[in-house]
Amino acid sequence: MIISVIVPVYNRFENFRSLFLCLLKQNKKFDELIIADDGSNENIINYITDLLPKVNFKIKHIYHEDKGFRKTRILNEAVKNSMGDLLIFCDQDLIFGEDYVERMSETKEKEFRMCRPCNTEEIEKNEIIKKLESGVQYKKCIENIPIEYENSVNKALKKDRVRRILKSLKLKKRGIKLLGMSYSLWKKDYRNINGYDEKYIGWGYEDDDFGNRLTASGVRGIEVYTDQILLHLWHQVSSSKKESLNEKYYRERKKKINKKNCHCEHGISNSLYSDKVIVRDIK
């Protein structure tokens, strides 16, 4: 099994560096990291140059010009250029323990596995980053976070489990709701529904739609517990993410999604866009 970790990014590379530090300490080896860059105006390599000698996996940088929020297109391009059979997607602001890749790589046929992270405050983020940079174990990095964080994550995972069971008993149409922050699935299942729908232009609902179509295609969601909870590092919320213009399209599409209609028109096999995509091998 070949494992590709795919991270969509757009600036905020100090947070990406923290995720990178977590990837360097994984118990289970993975094969490549793909940085799916939605047109950042910074050079991401400047943030990890000193860490590259420690890397034992391939690194690929996929980039297109900044023409607004086009996460759907850059993720499709990342998958298109990946070598993995299994894909692990994680947010650039995510940090996690040494067992993360191991837990996510336990994905079975016709499954997507999903973790639930907890948001941090700015002061907590700064303290955690210092500890990550010092090289201590993840458990030590998060030892001072409130116990309420772990409780909230466990509560959310419990709800996911209930939804999964109700779906399996055919008492609920939809099982676990896919969140783009952290999930894994097989590339063949991604391609089967033509990946992300590139008609989602701008922020909002693209992950919901992707998850709905995955579920309709017969891929079930599984909640994942890790030894230590995942954290989403604090950052300022962009004003463009207060509301989404995609809601109307999402509501209309959702009504039509079923097992025979889970393939999007414009996705990984036939992109909506024709502008250039730059692919660079970094390591």
How many Å is the Cα radius of gyration of the chain? Answer: 18
Query: What is the rounded (10 degree) CA torsion for 82, 113, 201, 119?
Result: -110
Enter the DSSP assignment of 225.
Answer: -
Amino acid 66: pLDDT = 96
Amino acid 239: pLDDT = 54
User: Do the Cβ atoms of 84 and 218 come closer than 8 Å?
Assistant: no
- Tell me the pTM: 0.95
Q: Strand pairing partners for 95?
A: 231
User: Do the Cβ atoms of 9 and 40 come closer than 8 Å?
Assistant: yes
C-alpha 237/C-alpha 256 separation (Å) is 32
Residue in the block written with tokens 């709701």: 177
Residue in the block written with tokens 């300022």: 236
Write the CA distances from 231 to 26, 125, 137, 145, integer angstroms: 16, 9, 15, 10
Could you give all domains of the chain from N- to C-terminal order, each with its CATH number? 3-281 (3.90.550.10)
Amino acid 163: pLDDT = 93
Q: Helix-strand-coil percent breakdown of the chain, rounded to 5? A: 35, 20, 45
Q: Which amino acid is at 250?
A: Y
- From first to last of the 283 residues of the chain, give the pLDDT tens digit: 999 999 999 998 999 999 999 999 999 999 999 999 999 998 999 999 999 999 999 999 999 999 999 999 999 999 999 999 999 999 999 999 999 999 999 999 999 999 999 999 999 999 999 999 999 999 999 999 999 999 999 999 999 999 999 999 988 888 999 989 999 999 999 999 999 999 999 889 999 999 999 999 999 999 999 999 999 999 877 655 566 789 999 999 999 999 999 999 999 999 999 999 999 999 8
User: Do the Cβ atoms of 57 and 25 come closer than 8 Å?
Assistant: no
User: Do the Cβ atoms of 15 and 92 come closer than 8 Å?
Assistant: yes
